[in-house]
Amino acid sequence: MSDPVIRIENLSFQWSAGLAPCLDIPHFEVQAGERIFLYGPSGSGKSTLLGLFGGVLLPQRGSLRLLGVELPQCSASERDRFRAGHVGFLFQQFNLIPYLSVLDNVLLPCRFSSRRRQRAIDSGRSLHDEALRLLDHLDIDTSLHHREATQLSVGQQQRVAAARALIGRPEIVIADEPTSALDADRQIAFLDLMMHESDAAGSTLVFVSHDRRLATAFDREIALPAINHAAVLEAAA
């Protein structure tokens, strides 16, 4: 079996020295190609964990390996480069840069990472065509491509953001409650598209939600409080 895509050992994170630890995770692994559903109540530290995956937060203690790279040992700019090149992000709402067109929003990761740009055109298509392909797969009509992001509905915005997270086939795609702002029936449709495309890109998907009903479609479902001892301590206190 190949190395895990994400691997955590004895990780501990606290927001500031005076506060109780927010995360204390003895062990956690995600294998390549897995589709993980991570859930937990609001404030349980889900977004914090994703910040660690993105390399913008650093654990005070422990090991955090992504694709074999020990992130806490990297410099800040190495972590930024790693995130740009290997991780696609998608958030709850307002994911798009308001003054860029739909197309330019999708292409953003390729502007900051030559790796993502390279992988996007590996398919033989031009960068532009690859963006068009993704948008098409995510049900965004061509007439919308040159609109400003703010003129789209919330559902459309989330699908454009998904295309952006997927362009250049990043190994890891992280979605932080991307469906919370959508209607219930839209949520399922979005989830289907998202899963399908992340499979097509060969990405490992970490999907975060406080809503457990969405879990059924995933390979594995993990309750953050179950792996996070800090939360257990907090709950016990």
Partner 1 sequence: MKHLLILAARSAWNRRLTLGMTLVAVTLSVTLLLGVERIRHDAREGFSHSVSGTDLIVGASTSHVQLMLYAVFRIGEATNNMRWQSYLDLKLNPAVAWAVPLSLGDSHRGFPVLGTNASYFDHFRYGDDRALGFKEGQPFKGVFDAVLGADVADQLGYKLGDRIVLTHGIGGIGGLEHADKPFVVTGILAPTGTPVDRTVHVSLEAISAIHLDWQGGAPLPGFSIPQQFVQKFDLTPKDITAVLVGLKSRIGVFKMQRYVADYAGEPLLAVLPGAALSQLWQVIGTVEQALLAVATMVVVVGLAGLVAVVLASLNERRRELAILRSVGARPVDVFVLLILEGLFITLLGCILGVALLAGASAVIGPWVQTRYGIGVAPRLISPDELRLLAAVIGAGLMSSLVPGYRAYRLSLADGLTPRL
In angstroms, rounded to a whole number, what is the distance separating the alpha carbons of residues 196 and 215?
Answer: 15
Contacts of 56 (CB under 8 A, 6+ apart): 79, 83
Cβ 185 to partner 1 shortest distance, Å: 27
Q: Which residue is nearest to Mg ion (CB)?
A: 47
Q: Is 40 in the site for ligand ADP (CB under 6 A)?
A: yes
Rule CB under 5 A: is residue 93 a binding residue for Mg ion?
Answer: no
**Is residue 54 close enough to count as binding ligand ADP by CB under 6 A?**
no
Name 18's Cβ contacts closer than 8 Å, sequence gap at least 6.
none
Q: Which residues of 77-98 are buried (b: 16+ CB within 10 A; e: fewer)?
A: eebbbbbbbbbbbbbbeebbee
For position 12 contacting Mg ion by CB under 5 A, the verdict is no
Is there binding between residue 75 and ligand ADP (CB under 6 A)? no
Q: Binding pattern to Mg ion, positions 24-63, x when CB under 5 A?
A: -----------------------x----------------
- For the bound state, the minimum distance from the C-beta of residue 99 to Mg ion, rounded and expressed in Å, comes to 26
For partner 1, which stretch binds (CB under 8 A), given 105-113, 136-144, 202-210, 214-222?
105-113
- Please answer whether residues 181 and 154 qualify as being in contact, where contact means their C-beta atoms are separated by less than 8 angstroms: yes
If binding means CB under 8 A, how many residues of this protein chain bind partner 1? 30
Q: Which stretch binds ligand ADP (CB under 6 A): 40-48, 106-114, 118-126, 225-233?
A: 40-48
Toward partner 1, which CB reaches closer, 31 or 101?
A: 101
- Measured in whole angstroms, the distance separating CA 104 from the mean position of its chain's CA atoms is 20
For residue 48, give the nearest of 11, 78, 10 by alpha carbon: 11
Which of residues 26 and 98 has its CB atom nearest to partner 1 in the complex? Answer: 98
Q: What span, in angstroms and rounded, lies between the C-alpha atoms of 185 and 13? A: 36
